[in-house]
Structure formats: C-alpha cells, structure tokens
Structure 1
C-alpha cells in the first residue's frame, strides 16, 4: 500500500465524482452541456 494506496483512493473518488457530474449535467443543463460537448 503506502502512498500508492492513498493515490488510488483519491483516483476512485475523483472518478466517481466525474462520472456523476458527467451524467447529471446534461439532465440539468439541457442543451447547454450537449452543445458544449458534441454540438447536437
């Protein structure tokens, strides 16, 4: 473990937050997030 265990824990937390943010923003923002990402 050591320092690598701490880094992996932060990576997992950051990954979960990033996925939740990526899934929730289009539902709340509507066309703003999609036009910024893909330009639909």
Structure 2
C-alpha cells in the first residue's frame, strides 16, 4: 500500500470514487425497473 502524501491521498480518493460509480451503475438500472414495474403504472 502506498501512503506517501499526495499519491496516497489520490489512490484513496480513486478507490472511493470507484466504489461510488460501481454502486451508482448497479442501483440506477434496478431503480428504474422498480419504478416502471411498480404499482404507479
């Protein structure tokens, strides 16, 4: 693990943003399918 100042902070933020993007792309399609197939329509 690299923990040397700016590079360590950059890798830490890269991992955080990667997790956010993965959760976003996993939740958005499922959320749209729930809305389109829900009792509202």
TM-score normalised over the length of structure 1: 0.68
Runs of 5+ consecutive residues of structure 1 not aligned to the other structure: 31-40
Runs of 5+ consecutive residues of structure 2 not aligned to the other structure: 34-41
Residue matched to 2:15? 12
Matched residue count? 30
Displacement of 1:2: 1.3
Alpha-carbon RMSD? 0.7
Q: Which has the larger radius of gyration?
A: 2
Higher helix share: 1
Displacement of 1:29: 1.2
